[in-house]
Amino acid sequence: DLGGSGWGNNELQSYTDRRVNSRIEGGRLVLEAHEETFTGTDGMQRSYTSARLKTLGKASWQYGRIEARLKLPKGRGLWPAFWMLGTNFTTIGWPTCGEIDIMEHIGREPLKVYGTVHGPGYSGAGGIGGSLTLSNGVTVSDDLHLFAVEWETNRIRWFMDNQLYFTVTPASLPGGAQWVFDHNHFLLLNVAVG
């Protein structure tokens, strides 16, 4: 994805396709935010750049274990995420397509990671989620960690380093809300700023 539209979260970066923001280095994918004045393809000037990569149109999944081993950036104002959207996003929009946040880490909370689902009637600040807070004094960004969901027909479970920390089922949704996690989703990886 390209541009600096704020992406529905008042984000401060412009996403680019430049190798300074996303590249393969030593066999690992690197996403990197930079403080710099940049005008994106959408004509919006921003004070930060970063990358947002997606598999839409290339690969998608319905059910199974989805995981990535990640080393997260450190710092207040950074918001790295590993997440999924329904492949029907382009036709029915968000949140009806469904969103599974496999991992979100808010820089001002260095000991915590979040896992959340968003759908019609439970989106934005009303998303249904859980979190894991490290208790050993080591921050989440100090090392590589394995983040995963195990996604089944009527259940999604969240793990960090194979430790289960949250589960959601249709019974977890607000009364009358629709379970929208029954079709293919594509992956996204990004580092937001702000």
Kindly list the catalytic residues.
Answer: 99, 104
What single string gives the DSSP state of each residue in the chain? --B-S-TTTT--EEE---TTTEEEETTEEEE--EEEEEE-TTS-EEEEEE-EEE-TTT--BSSEEEEEEE----STTEEEEEEEEETTHHHH-TTTT-EEEEEE--TT-TTEEEEEEEBTTB-GGG-EEEEEE--SS--GGGS-EEEEEEEETTEEEEEETTEEEEEE-GGGSPTT-----SS-EEEEEEEEE-
